[in-house]
Structure 1
Amino acid sequence: MNVLFLSIGRIENIEENGIYSDLLRYFRNAGHNVYVVTPRERRLKKHTEYVTENGIQFLRVKIGNITKTNIIEKGISTLRIEKLFLKAIKKYLNNIKFDLVIYTTPPITFEKVIAYIKKRDNAKTYLLLKDIFPQNAVDLKMFSKKSLIYKYFRRKEKKLYAQSDFIGCMSQANVNFILKNNEEVSHEKVEVCPNSIEPLSIIKNKSEIKEIREKYNIPVDRTVFIYGGNLGKPQGIDFLIECLKANKENNQVYFVIAGSGTEFNKIKSFFDRVKLTNAKLFAQLPKDEYEALANSCDVGLIFLDYRFTIPNFPSRLLSYMQASMPVLAATDKSTDIGKVIEKGEFGLWCESNNVEEFNKKLQILCNPDIRRKMGTNARKYLEENYTVKHTYEIIMKHFKNEKGKAHV
């Protein structure tokens, strides 16, 4: 099959590990022709290009800046992506007939691109739903349901769902939310299609762990909790700060916070002011350095703002599970990530407005025997539920005939 993948996430090297690159490699290795359309921001000072790399065709489209910029430029650039993607596809991929189009949210503004390919090629369309916008912005009080901006994006969201033959959600709570809040969407086309990776083999060596911790001045005799990833409004950074405050005298634990985002300066000013002795903040590290650091820690942390009514399911969970690390998740009540973690017995959960409960769970995970058992369970659960093979098979079952052969 000819498969078209659309995303606003930059994919520079298909051989790198990530939820999208891992899946696209699986499609390539299964014999499909894979075409990837991704953005190239203006600040990189490079033109639109169409190239073949490692057996995959890349169309990198020059757009405005959508990261590391102000909210006005980000908003304008995001709105223009649809038009620029469509123009580039018509120019560079005009002679390719696609059988399957896969695309992700964010953004929800690909509707015209999807409609064009679907009509032109009679292609099947599959939405990987990673973000429910604009409701997530309403939850965080960025604008109200009465605003024109909400009404505009809500229309775009509904159109995108209507153009999608299938909608793959990260968890059952996402499925339930979409069906409850979009009555026009058919139950038959919404399913669980979780975040997934191609798990790497990670061997934990005590001497290497000791060496890495010493490199970053992290104690070797404490339980080290790491949060890595986006430090933005969705993560509820105020609660993270409250947890750090509550544990500033706790000599059993050590916190490592590594990442970037709109709230990074807020947490940095807290670190500068309070001078914690059992926590360290890193700006975004190079991928290899971060992974080595993360693999030397004991427990992975997940934070989500308690106000969310949409069920987020952070992909950060997978890297913790890959490293056989137990997880402590502090989230809203709408997501089912806590239920999954506790049912799989690879971590603990609390609501992200209850510091006392967070501290109780924190102390439980200071027990090395509990951590060891939960870590083993985490890796096992990952391999049984969250590999790209699972995701590929979920998508491809829609392209099988009664005899089990894929339509091409």
Structure 2
Amino acid sequence: MARLLYMVEHFPPEMSTGRLEFELSQELIKRGHTVTIVTSFPRPYFLESPYPNKGRFVYWERLSGLRVARMGPEFSERDNLFMRGLEYFLSFFSFFVGGLISGPVDVILCTTPPITHAFAASLLGKLTRRRVITRVVDVHPRALLELGFLRQGTIYQILRLMEKLVYRNTACLTTISNGLGRNIVEAGATPEKVVIVPNWGSAEGFHVSERPVSLPPRVAGKFLVTYAGIMSWPQDLETIVDAAARLRNEKGIHFLLVGDGPQHELLVEKSKKLRLENLDFVPLQPKQEYLRILHASHVCIVSLKKEMVSLSFPSKMLDIMACGRSVLANVPTGEIVDVVKDANCGLSVEPQKPDDFAEAVLKLYRSPDMAERMGRNGLEYMKQHFTVEAAADRYEKIVERLTKH
């Protein structure tokens, strides 16, 4: 059995962004491996109460059988871009130190972005003569450039150099879709290093509690259209609010926005200005409650702005499929749209077009049997293609291959 060090930016209690790494680690532990996690402190808006020992440079804890090192520093309370950028670079040093003090390991695993963590893992691998597996879920720094967060300047060139060195020094590059795999190769990776390991749905979604979910009273008996997740600029949540305004006279339809994030207050204010009575906001929920809300909904939303070219599909879409609910994909053309079409598990619309979004909601509302059938299709498709057990099988084979050389 292998001793694994896993370096990942976010981890529970941040379930929306750290769920996959947590579930993969849990599955590997079940199979007899040892997993040590190096991660950051959870962001405050994902917590119901302040996290203990926040402010320390390193804090060790035990979490569901995992040995976890929380690394500081943290400067940003609400995703201020400048402070997040500062953390982006400083976290390279803290994660490198976290890896050094984690004890002997056989293989180092990391998830990128941010590319600075992958760079720390690659240098640690060089120093300790251990093989590194890098799990690539987005191509940085190119994605930052395309989104306008970076310009073609010194910082971009530094990050691009880090990316090249990561691809050169990493023994294996896993990624979640063929599209991302092609982008990694275009960015300089050796094709032979790239292995496709898709994301997976939450097994908890198969066994959602039947206990009544706590929702606003005016939701009762309505056709519920739900977005649940982080509320930030890339998610195009303004389109959902605008669509709700267009459907305000459809008394049988109600919208629900669940979660928190940098755009939350702006969305609430917009809803108040529009005087929407068919839209409610619900705070960020624990994992089981989040899944129960998805299960209580009729349609669940995956949403990205048109600038966010979709080369993969987010874990929240797999949660929706695991709960047997139809997907309304408000996303650019890409892997998400392809899966919705292949699985026949929902409808897709072009982002930032509230009229089209509203029309899709009406279509599902007026054809409840179709919406229910699409939900069942998504569940069956997920069971066949996207499970943590299948992902762990692939990672075990990679680890076995790397430890033999």
Under a length normalisation based on structure 1, what TM-score does the superposition of the two structures give? 0.87
**Match of residue 359 from structure 2:** 360
Letter in 1 for 2:69: L
Write the mapping of 1:43-122 to structure 2, written as runs, cut at 5 A.
Answer: 44-46=54-56, 48-90=58-100, 92-94=101-103, 96=104, 98-122=105-129
Letter in 2 for 1:202: H
Task: List gaps (5 residues or longer) in structure 2.
Answer: 43-50
Q: CA deviation at 1:389?
A: 0.9
Provide the C-alpha distance between the structure 1 equivalents of 2:213 and 2:135, rounded to a whole number of angstroms: 36
Deviations 1:48-90 (A, max 9, x none): 2334554332222232235535332222122111112222333
Deviations 1:127-185 (A, max 9, x none): 222232223333332333x2333223222222222232222222222222323x31x31
**Match of residue 46 from structure 2:** none
Letter in 1 for 2:90: R
**Match of residue 178 from structure 1:** 184
Provide the C-alpha distance between the structure 1 equivalents of 2:70 and 2:18, rounded to a whole number of angstroms: 19
Q: Is the 8 A contact 1:66 1:75 kept in 2?
A: no
Write the mapping of 1:8-407 to structure 2, written as runs, cut at 5 A.
Answer: 8-12=9-13, 18-40=19-41, 44-46=54-56, 48-90=58-100, 92-94=101-103, 96=104, 98-144=105-151, 146-179=152-185, 181-182=186-187, 184-200=188-204, 201-203=206-208, 205=210, 208=211, 211-212=212-213, 215-309=215-309, 311-333=311-333, 335-366=334-365, 367-400=367-400, 407=404
Deviations 1:74-112 (A, max 9, x none): 22122111112222333x234x1x222111122110244
**Match of residue 3 from structure 2:** 2
Range 132-141 or range 21-30, more displaced: 132-141
Q: In structure 2, the residue corresponding to 1:149 is in which secondary structure?
A: helix
Provide the C-alpha distance between the structure 2 equivalents of 1:158 and 1:46, rounded to a whole number of angstroms: 32
Provide the C-alpha distance between the structure 2 equivalents of 1:12 and 1:245, rounded to a whole number of angstroms: 34
Provide the C-alpha distance between the structure 2 equivalents of 1:22 and 1:143, rounded to a whole number of angstroms: 32
Q: CA deviation at 1:228?
A: 0.6
Q: CA deviation at 1:26?
A: 0.7
Q: Is the 8 A contact 2:313 2:336 kept in 1?
A: yes
Deviations 1:227-252 (A, max 9, x none): 01111111123333332232222233
Deviations 1:340-397 (A, max 9, x none): 1111111111211333432332223222211221111221122212111111122222
Question: Given the superposition, is the C-alpha separation of residues 239 and 134 from structure 1 closer, same or farther in structure 2, using an over 3 Å criterion?
Answer: farther
Letter in 2 for 1:196: W
Q: In structure 2, the residue corresponding to 1:18 is in which secondary structure?
A: helix
Provide the C-alpha distance between the structure 1 equivalents of 2:76 and 2:138, rounded to a whole number of angstroms: 16
Q: Is the 8 A contact 1:169 1:191 kept in 2?
A: yes
Under a length normalisation based on structure 2, what TM-score does the superposition of the two structures give? 0.87
Provide the C-alpha distance between the structure 2 equivalents of 1:129 and 1:248, rounded to a whole number of angstroms: 41
Provide the C-alpha distance between the structure 1 equivalents of 2:63 and 2:287, rounded to a whole number of angstroms: 21
Provide the C-alpha distance between the structure 2 equivalents of 1:301 and 1:118, rounded to a whole number of angstroms: 40
Q: Is the 8 A contact 1:136 1:310 kept in 2?
A: no
Letter in 1 for 2:6: F
Q: Is the 8 A contact 1:259 1:285 kept in 2?
A: yes
Q: CA deviation at 1:286?
A: 4.2
Q: In structure 2, the residue corresponding to 1:311 is in which secondary structure?
A: coil
Provide the C-alpha distance between the structure 1 equivalents of 2:167 and 2:246, rounded to a whole number of angstroms: 44
Question: Given the superposition, is the C-alpha separation of residues 13 and 2 from structure 1 closer, same or farther in structure 2, using an over 3 Å criterion?
Answer: farther
Provide the C-alpha distance between the structure 2 equivalents of 1:235 and 1:69, rounded to a whole number of angstroms: 15
Q: CA deviation at 1:406?
A: 8.0
Letter in 1 for 2:83: E
Q: In structure 1, the residue corresponding to 2:226 is in which secondary structure?
A: strand
Deviations 1:258-305 (A, max 9, x none): 121222122111111111121112232344443333321111101101
Q: In structure 1, the residue corresponding to 2:72 is in which secondary structure?
A: strand
Question: Given the superposition, is the C-alpha separation of residues 406 and 229 from structure 1 closer, same or farther in structure 2, using an over 3 Å criterion?
Answer: same
Provide the C-alpha distance between the structure 1 equivalents of 2:220 and 2:385, rounded to a whole number of angstroms: 33
Q: CA deviation at 1:39?
A: 1.8
Letter in 2 for 1:148: T
Question: Given the superposition, is the C-alpha separation of residues 393 and 406 from structure 1 closer, same or farther in structure 2, using an over 3 Å criterion?
Answer: farther
Q: In structure 1, the residue corresponding to 2:259 is in which secondary structure?
A: strand
Letter in 2 for 1:229: G
Q: Is the 8 A contact 1:22 1:197 kept in 2?
A: no
Provide the C-alpha distance between the structure 1 equivalents of 2:283 and 2:66, rounded to a whole number of angstroms: 32
Provide the C-alpha distance between the structure 2 equivalents of 1:116 and 1:105, rounded to a whole number of angstroms: 15
Q: CA deviation at 1:220?
A: 3.4
